Structure 1
Amino acid sequence: MTLTLQLGIIVGYLLLALAIGLFAYRLTDRTAEDFYLASRTFGTIVLLFTTFATLLSAFTFFAGPNIAYAQGPEWVLVMGLMDGIIFAILWYVIGYKQWLLGQSYGYVTLGEMLGDRFGSTWLRGLVAGVSLLWLFPYVMLQQVGAGTALEALTEGAVPYAVGAGLITAFMILYVVVAGMRGIAWTDTVQGAFMLVVTWVALLWLLAVIGGPGAATSALEAEAAHHLALGSDFYTVQWMLSTAITIGFGVAMFPQVNQRFFAAGSKTVLKRSFALWPILCVLLFVPSFLIGAWARGLDVTIPEGANVLPIVLAEYTPVWFAALVIAGAMAAMMSSSDSMLLSGSSYFTRDLYRPFVDRTISERREDLLARIGVVAFATAAFAASLWNPATLFELGDAAFSGFAQLALPVMVALYWRRTTRAGITAGIVASQLFYLSSLFLGFVPATYAGWSAGLVGMGLGLVVTVGVSFVTTPAADERRAIYFERLGAD
């Protein structure tokens, strides 16, 4: 009976999300721009919550509490506070300029925007290829998170592979049917739902164990060092490296970056980034505190398991724990469906169209995008079954990989002297350096405590600027288009 109730709640919630997508499908034009960007019509609430829900992933709900449980609550400062502020600033610095360019030139992807400015199909393809490379482990992360969450909640009755397969099937069906409009509508509902249910989960847990004072006392008795700021794990270098690479990486995530193009007006964009840090704190604080306080509770967390579903299963009713996990899985689906949608646009517009068929019609591109979603999600699912890394390792690799793009893009947006050779060299150098730090044992992962991801960002900046200084702009570069009067209200 318990298992039936748990699965009924989870599947019911996913079906509700699918129903919203089906309704949105009836309002969707059969054009690539509407499929990818909902015809650039988002208002403040929808833009804010679709961006928010897009980032509510397994990294947030499982990796975050796991880190707080193992290492202490300072993770709230890294992900909840510093990242919220960093990304809000980048939303303005990068996002507003991108929105203006999208309004003026109709760009759908970051690769289109850069390829047009620098007159380079190969640069466009490079940006798309790098983005798809790092998108793959982050899609995998959602499938791993869903599989482990369902396995823990049902005490093994639902195997890992079944849970991962369930969310894969739903996200394929959802993206193929709904497009950006349906995703955004569902994101708005799911983002608001997760804000409420996460706070209710925290308050419920505290009511059962005797309040925050009792929770803190229990944590002090079990792991007193968790209550002191800083540790061998939470060094200044690690915290800053992590916050910066995650914040800059988020700005380059295709599913987030494309939302910079989708705002309905300048006012919508500005209101959204102003509210962003508040929203981050409201969500991350309760989920990470549950993870931190769980260390002092009388509950066994097996090695490699996710803290949140185990604690909720122990201290809250079956139906509520299942509801939270259903919401978390829906949040993972919000991340995955947006990633798959954006990944398909990068493939069709930046790889297939310029390199295979320049004359492809809008309708055919729309169909190709949906086929690409199925192929990408299926491949990620297969990879998730083969000895995946931890959720934090997968997420951190993706964030840092995307962060390597951020500074070359910022230089291009604001420095007229940037050349095609400069930005290409900056992207290639930083990507090769960071990939080497992951896969070549003789390349260090840290430098005096600073992560290779952050060092790679600095390398990309230096190479972009240095090569631009010593090279001449190509004849077909359009150096003025980022600096013309860009007006859109």
Structure 2
Amino acid sequence: MILALQLGIIVGYLLLALAVGLVAYRLTERTAEDFYLASRTLGTVVLLFTTFATLLSAFTFFAGPNLAFLHGPEWILVMGVMDGLIFAVLWYVVGYKQWLLGQQRGYVTLGEMLGDRFGSRRLRGLVAGVSLMWLFPYVMLQQVGAGTALEALTDGAIPYAGGAGLITLFMILYVVLAGFRGIAWTDTLQGAFMLVTTWVALLWVLAAVGGPTAATAELEATASEHLALGGAYYSPQFMLSTAITIGFGVAMFPQVNQRFFAAGSKAVLKRSFALWPVLCLLLFVPAFMLGAWARGLETGIAVAEIEAGGNVLPLILAEFTPTWFAALVIAGAMAAMMSSSDSMLLSGSSYFTRDLYRPFVDATLSDRREDTIARLGVVVFAVSTFLASLYNAATLFDLGNAAFSGFAQLALPVMVALYWRGTTRSGIIAGILGSQAFYLASVFFSFVPGSYGGWSAGLVGMGLGLALTVGVSWLTAPAAAEQRAIYFEALEAD
């Protein structure tokens, strides 16, 4: 009976999201621009919440509370404060200029924007290839999160593969039907829903244990080091490295970066990034404090269980809240993961069709045929990540951190190109290839250190990318096909 109730709530919520997608499908034009960007018409609330919900992934709902449980609540400073501010600044520095260029020249992807400026389809393909490579583990992260959450919530009645498969099926159906317009609508609903339910969950648990003072006293008795700012795990180097790589990585995530093109006006874009840090704090504080306080509560949650890949959030909800409410929060979390996954799949399909298939396979590709190929690409990508997630042994934090740092390697070469007229094709290609090669080596080869005096290889790679972009550009002449002025004409025309 309890299992039926849990499944009914979760599947019902996902079906509600799918119904919104069906409505959006009826309103979606059969053009690539409408499928990918909702014809660039988003208002402030929808743009803000679709960006917000796109980032409400398994990394937020499960990896974050897990980290707070294991090491203390300073993770709030990394994600809630530093990253909120860093991304808000980048939304202006990178996003505003991308929006101007998109309005003037019709760009849909980052690769299109760079390929046009540097007159290079190879650069366009490089950016798409790198992005798809790092998008793969991050889509996997959502499937891993859904599988482990449902398995924990139902005490193993729904196996890991069943939960991962469920979210995969729904996100395929949703993206193929809804396109960007439907995703943006449901993101708005899901973002607001998750804000409310996360705060209700926090208040419910605190009421059950005697309030925040009692919960903090229990945490102090169990793990007093969690209440001391700057513990062994949260070194300044770790916190700064992680905040910078995540903040810059978010700006290069395809599903986030494309939203820079989708705003309906300059005012919409500016209001959205101004409100961003507030939304981050409103969500991350309750989610991560739940994880931190859970360490001191008598829940039976073992440190080894979380270190082995378990998730603290569904476990503490199952302990202190009614079955229906715990299922509702997990349903919302799965819907949020679906919001991340569907946006990733949609962006990934646009990078494939517009930056790989169109320039290298069929330059005469029609809008109608591109729309069909994009939807087929969604299915192939989602099924591939699902199969990979069945054999993945990495933790949610490892998967998410690798993807954030991988995308962060793109950020500084792109920013240099946007703001320095002297950037050459050779320079930006060297910056992207050099930083990616270094970071990949640090991930996959033990002889390349993952840390340098406490500073992460991801941050060091960003510095290498910057140095190569500037240095090689300084030493090389621009290619004949480069259009060195177009990024600056956009600002002059504004």
Which deviations, in whole Å up to 9, do the C-alpha atoms of 1:439-470 show, x marking residues without a partner? Answer: 11100000000000000000000000000000
SS in 1 for 2:487: coil
Correspondence 1:82-481 to 2 at 5 A: 82-301=82-301, 302-303=305-306, 304-481=309-486
Paired residue type of 1:222: T
Q: Distance in 1 between matches of 2:242 and 2:408?
A: 11
Paired residue type of 1:476: A
Superposed displacement of residue 231, structure 1: 1.4
Aligned partner of 1:9 in structure 2 is 9
Paired residue type of 2:371: D
Q: Distance in 2 between matches of 1:63 and 1:485?
A: 40
Paired residue type of 1:419: T
Is the contact between residue 104 and residue 490 of structure 2 (CA under 8 Å) also seen in structure 1? no
Is the contact between residue 138 and residue 400 of structure 2 (CA under 8 Å) also seen in structure 1? yes
Q: Distance in 2 between matches of 1:488 and 1:317?
A: 57
Paired residue type of 1:107: Y
Which deviations, in whole Å up to 9, do the C-alpha atoms of 1:8-46 show, x marking residues without a partner? Answer: 000000000000000000000000000000000000000
SS in 1 for 2:20: helix
Superposed displacement of residue 473, structure 1: 0.3
Q: Distance in 2 between matches of 1:89 and 1:485?
A: 19
Is the contact between residue 263 and residue 269 of structure 1 (CA under 8 Å) also seen in structure 2? yes
Q: Distance in 2 between matches of 1:405 and 1:473?
A: 20
Q: Distance in 2 between matches of 1:243 and 1:439?
A: 22
**Does 82-91 or 384-393 show the bigger shift?**
384-393
Is the contact between residue 49 and residue 191 of structure 1 (CA under 8 Å) also seen in structure 2? yes
SS in 1 for 2:29: coil
Q: Distance in 1 between matches of 2:242 and 2:493?
A: 35
Superposed displacement of residue 388, structure 1: 3.0
Q: Distance in 2 between matches of 1:94 and 1:222?
A: 45
In structure 2, the gaps of 5 or more residues are none
Is the contact between residue 246 and residue 404 of structure 2 (CA under 8 Å) also seen in structure 1? yes
Which deviations, in whole Å up to 9, do the C-alpha atoms of 1:157-178 show, x marking residues without a partner? Answer: 0000000000000000000000
Is the contact between residue 143 and residue 167 of structure 1 (CA under 8 Å) also seen in structure 2? yes
Superposed displacement of residue 232, structure 1: 1.4
Q: Distance in 2 between matches of 1:202 and 1:292?
A: 11
Q: Distance in 2 between matches of 1:487 and 1:370?
A: 38
Q: Distance in 1 between matches of 2:372 and 2:396?
A: 32
Q: Distance in 2 between matches of 1:218 and 1:231?
A: 18
Is the contact between residue 168 and residue 378 of structure 1 (CA under 8 Å) also seen in structure 2? yes
In structure 1, the gaps of 5 or more residues are none
Q: Distance in 1 between matches of 2:24 and 2:492?
A: 30
SS in 2 for 1:248: helix
Which deviations, in whole Å up to 9, do the C-alpha atoms of 1:408-432 show, x marking residues without a partner? Answer: 0000000000000000000000000
Is the contact between residue 265 and residue 488 of structure 1 (CA under 8 Å) also seen in structure 2? no
Is the contact between residue 175 and residue 378 of structure 2 (CA under 8 Å) also seen in structure 1? yes
Which deviations, in whole Å up to 9, do the C-alpha atoms of 1:168-207 show, x marking residues without a partner? Answer: 0000000000000000000000000000000000000100
Q: Distance in 2 between matches of 1:374 and 1:481?
A: 36
Paired residue type of 1:396: N
Confirm or deny that 1:18 pairs with 2:15.
Answer: no
Paired residue type of 1:368: I
Which deviations, in whole Å up to 9, do the C-alpha atoms of 1:333-379 show, x marking residues without a partner? Answer: 00000000000000000000000000010000000000000000000
Q: Distance in 2 between matches of 1:170 and 1:41?
A: 26
Q: Distance in 1 between matches of 2:81 and 2:352?
A: 34
Q: Distance in 2 between matches of 1:172 and 1:452?
A: 34
Aligned partner of 2:70 in structure 1 is 70
**Does 185-194 or 299-308 show the bigger shift?**
299-308
Which deviations, in whole Å up to 9, do the C-alpha atoms of 1:129-165 show, x marking residues without a partner? Answer: 0000000000000000000000000000000000000
Superposed displacement of residue 487, structure 1: 7.1
Paired residue type of 1:376: F
Q: Distance in 1 between matches of 2:446 and 2:150?
A: 35
Is the contact between residue 71 and residue 226 of structure 2 (CA under 8 Å) also seen in structure 1? yes
Is the contact between residue 100 and residue 490 of structure 2 (CA under 8 Å) also seen in structure 1? no
Is the contact between residue 314 and residue 326 of structure 2 (CA under 8 Å) also seen in structure 1? yes
The 1:71/1:18 distance shift into structure 2, 3 A limit, reads same
**Share of identical aligned residues, percent?**
80
Paired residue type of 2:24: A
Q: TM-score, normalised by structure 2?
A: 0.98
Superposed displacement of residue 485, structure 1: 4.2
Is the contact between residue 100 and residue 488 of structure 1 (CA under 8 Å) also seen in structure 2? no
Is the contact between residue 100 and residue 487 of structure 1 (CA under 8 Å) also seen in structure 2? no
**Does 479-488 or 307-316 show the bigger shift?**
479-488
Q: Distance in 1 between matches of 2:300 and 2:433?
A: 45
Paired residue type of 1:173: L
The 1:457/1:293 distance shift into structure 2, 3 A limit, reads same
Q: Distance in 2 between matches of 1:386 and 1:485?
A: 47
